[in-house]
């Protein structure tokens, strides 16, 4: 046994063992516990769930709002339920509904041609080096936003949110 924790995390211990002048040193035991714990916590932020685990009030709201939906997949994010589905066999939509059955927001995939010209103009003015890669329309509390993913060679991907009139909304987080 190299470290006291090797019986619990053998692969992890082998990964973090440092060889120096034919001596073996182990990383701090707190570090050895932190990594598995962080992985566990990050995997709990959202989870796929089956339809029978979704409360009936959430399902009822979904059926009323999206009667022609198909290929529905459910996830739970804390106390919010998210349905990802197709409408008319082609349009991809996601909707978030709270435990009380209130529709919080929805997003729908768009083509670049569907993007409001004011948003296109704003992107071309402020992000000249970037190309539009992905576009979604988000409706939240009756307000329409456009969520845009931009890419450029050798640069980090950029996710932006714009109001319908083409103003960048820096205080509204992107819905992934």
Kindly state whether residues 61 and 100 are assigned to the same domain: yes
Chain centroid, CA 86 distance in Å: 18
- Tell me: the pLDDT tens digits for 61-104? 999 999 999 999 999 999 999 999 998 867 899 999 999 999 99
Asked whether residue 4 is domain-assigned, the answer is: no
The CATH number that applies at residue 86 is 3.10.450.360
32 pLDDT band (50/70/90 cuts)? very low
Residue 170 DSSP label: T
- Per-residue confidence (pLDDT) for residue 45, from 0 to 100: 59
The pLDDT of 5-34, averaged and rounded, is: 43
The pLDDT of 103-131, averaged and rounded, is: 94
Kindly state whether residues 67 and 33 are assigned to the same domain: no
Kindly state whether residues 51 and 103 are assigned to the same domain: yes
Domain with 38, as residue range(s), is 10-43
Average pLDDT, the chain: 81
How far apart are alpha carbons 85 and 68 in whole angstroms?
A: 10
The pLDDT of 4-22, averaged and rounded, is: 42
Kindly state whether residues 51 and 104 are assigned to the same domain: yes
Asked whether residue 2 is domain-assigned, the answer is: no
Residue 123, phi-psi category: left (phi > 0), alpha (psi -120 to 50), beta (remainder)? alpha
Kindly state whether residues 156 and 123 are assigned to the same domain: yes
The pLDDT of 120-131, averaged and rounded, is: 93
- Per-residue confidence (pLDDT) for residue 138, from 0 to 100: 96
For residues 123 and 94, the answer to whether their CB atoms sit within 8 Å is no
Kindly state whether residues 92 and 132 are assigned to the same domain: no
Asked whether residue 37 is domain-assigned, the answer is: yes
- Tell me: the pLDDT tens digits for 137-168? 999 999 999 999 999 999 999 999 999 999 99
Tally the domains of the chain: 3
pTM of the predicted model, to two decimals? 0.69
State yes or no: pLDDT of 42 exceeds 60. Answer: no
């Amino acid at each position: 046994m190299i470290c006291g924790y090797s019986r619990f995390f053998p692969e992890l211990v082998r990964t973090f063992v440092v060889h120096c002048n034919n001596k073996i040193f182990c990383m701090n035991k707190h570090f050895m516990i932190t990594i598995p714990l962080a992985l566990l916590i990050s995997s709990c932020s959202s989870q796929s769930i089956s339809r029978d685990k979704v409360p009936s009030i959430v399902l009822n709201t979904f059926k009323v709002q999206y009667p022609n939906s198909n290929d529905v997949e459910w996830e739970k994010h804390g106390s919010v339920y998210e349905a990802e589905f197709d409408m008319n066999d082609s349009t991809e939509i996601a909707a978030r509904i709270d435990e009380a059955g209130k529709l919080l927001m929805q997003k729908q995939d768009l083509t670049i041609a569907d993007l409001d010209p004011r948003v296109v103009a704003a992107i071309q003015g402020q992000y000249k080096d970037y190309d539009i890669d992905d576009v979604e329309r988000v409706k939240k509390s009756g307000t329409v936003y456009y969520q845009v993913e931009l890419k450029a060679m050798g640069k980090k991907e950029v996710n932006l949110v714009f109001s319908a009139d083409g103003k960048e909304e820096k205080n509204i987080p992107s819905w992934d």
